[in-house]
Amino acid sequence: MSVTIAERHAADVSTATMTVCWDGSCKEPDIRLHTSTSPGPAQCDDGVCVSRASPTGDLNGFADVEDLPTKPVEVRLVLFDTNGSELMDDRVTVTPSMKRPNGDHCPPGGPNAGVSVEDGALRKPD
C-alpha cells in the first residue's frame, strides 16, 4: 500500500499510522515516510551524463500489508506532527489490483493500491 502526502501537508507531518480492513479483520502495517524526489536536469561531460535527485516537497511511504486481497479494503491513515499531535485521521475505500512490475511477459507481483493526502483529505487514486 503506497502513500503520497502532498507538499502543502508534508512539511507538518512527522509520522503516520495505517489500518487496512476487509472481511471484518484489520491489519496495522508499519509505514515509514520519506522525502519524495524527482530527477533533476542531466549534466553531460565527455559522453557521461549525470542527474541528481531533487526533493519535490511531497512525502511518500509504503506499507507491506500481508494477505492484501484484490477486492475493496478500507484504509485509515492518521498523520502526526513532531510533537505527536494528530494532524489528520481519515478513511477511504480502495480496491487493490495485481501489477506486473517486471513487464507483461512476467508473472504479476502481489496486489497493490495507493492513497494520497491532498487538500486535507485522504483520497484514492484517479
Cα–Cα dist 84/79, whole Å: 9
Cα–Cα dist 126/116, whole Å: 10
- The three cell numbers of residue 23 are 472481511
- pTM as predicted: 0.84
What's the pLDDT tens digit per position in 55-71? 999 999 999 999 999 99
What's the pLDDT tens digit per position in 85-120? 999 999 999 999 987 777 778 877 789 999 999 988
Residue 82 CA: distances (Å) to CA of 7, 29, 102: 16, 20, 38
- The three cell numbers of residue 38 are 524527482
- Burial status of residue 65 (CB atoms within 10 A of its CB: 0-12, 13-18, 19 or more): buried
Cα–Cα dist 12/89, whole Å: 14
DSSP summary character for residue 9: H
